[in-house]
Structure 1
Amino acid sequence: MALVSQDNVMALISRTGRELQRYRKGRRQVVGCIPYRYSLEASKELEVMVISSKKGKAMLFPKGGWELDESKKEAALRETIEEAGVRGIVEAKLGKWSFKSKTYDTFYDGYMFPLLVEEQLEFWPEQHVRQRIWMSVSEAKEACQHWWMKEALERLVNRLTTHKLGRMKPIVGSVQCIGDD
């Protein structure tokens, strides 16, 4: 088990460029998180955070390139801080999806992780180019533009439902990456 302090992945500006990007069999490797929390209301309903894309009004979960100097979880956490301005516990991988980029007409491998939000930052690198919105799972399924992210959200809901029923061990930790699934 490797513990990685979040202080090591926080930057005041977003990383840019593709010179450190990972590729496997010609496919760009991208990682992201589904930030989630339970509402503060008595119902304690599951809420997820979506963000706007840079190029339009489409909504999605934070994601971006997995770079050579990072584990998958470190990259997912970095992207989530940069794009959504939230920190928390990166949990076990939800899965891997292969998809074609509409913008670049190339194929990607995408890995998604749940992120149990512990802190919502007032200032974050992409705050001037993205909006972030907490919404219910059903609203997120409607709003999210990517089919593979919708599948990741469904896996998260299934995992949390199973957890609620007592079939999984609780996940403990502080604001850190634990291991690399």
Structure 2
Amino acid sequence: MSRKTNKICKQSGVIPYRVRDGKIEVLLITTRKRQSWVIPKGGVCKGMTPPDSAAKEAWEEAGVVGQVNTEKIGAYQYRKRGNIYRVNLFLLPVEQVLEDWPEATQRERIWLDISHAAMIVKGNSLRRILHISQNQVKIKN
């Protein structure tokens, strides 16, 4: 019996964050069907670097803009429709929160303390990366 090989799809995503009153807040968004809380991510666009592609996803899915840190902070995998998706994650210090963005009618967004965000996101690997990222954010007030 031959074993089906799963396609591995490369994606990139961001952990959008801001610092308020000395505390790190992370922006989470819902999936399109509003079933769970996730971070902005998507396929790496042809001709773009993973960080640049992740910044594009942040704008499209969450309506936030900033300069993505080009150093990868972690990666995780998930399965969907028979494929394996490998997501490289980058930090995004949010500089601007838009009132209108491409997927505004398809998603909700919420700012949460990073510890609370880690408790409600979908996936254990993403939870671990959120906890790790807390130590990598430079707090400047």
Residue 72 (structure 2) aligned to one of 93, 97, 100: 93
Percent identity over the alignment is 31
Superposed structure 1 runs of 4+ greater than 4 Å apart: none
Q: TM-score, normalised by structure 1?
A: 0.69
- Equivalent positions of 1:149-160 (< 5 A) are 149-160=126-137
Residue 18 (structure 2) aligned to one of 37, 45, 50: 37
For 1:141 and 1:114, locate their aligned partners in 2 and report how far apart those are by CA, in whole Å. Answer: 15
Tell me, which stretches of 5 or more residues in structure 2 are unaligned?
1-5
Residue by residue over 1:85-117, the C-alpha shift from the partner in whole angstroms, topping out at 9 and shown as x without a partner, is: 0001201211233x231x312212110001000
- Equivalent positions of 1:11-50 (< 5 A) are 26-39=7-20, 43-50=21-28
Report the alpha carbon displacement of residue 120 of structure 1 after superposing the two structures with TM: 0.4
- Equivalent positions of 1:95-114 (< 5 A) are 95-97=74-76, 99-101=77-79, 103-114=80-91
Report the alpha carbon displacement of residue 146 of structure 1 after superposing the two structures with TM: 2.0
Residue by residue over 1:23-62, the C-alpha shift from the partner in whole angstroms, topping out at 9 and shown as x without a partner, is: xx931001100000011xxx32110000011123300111
Report the alpha carbon displacement of residue 137 of structure 1 after superposing the two structures with TM: 1.1
Tell me, which stretches of 5 or more residues in structure 1 are unaligned?
1-24, 165-169, 171-181
Q: TM-score, normalised by structure 2?
A: 0.87
Aligned pairs, how many? Answer: 134
Q: Aligned Cα RMSD in Å?
A: 1.8
Report the alpha carbon displacement of residue 118 of structure 1 after superposing the two structures with TM: 0.3
Aligned match of 2:36: 58
Report the alpha carbon displacement of residue 141 of structure 1 after superposing the two structures with TM: 1.1
More strand by share: 2
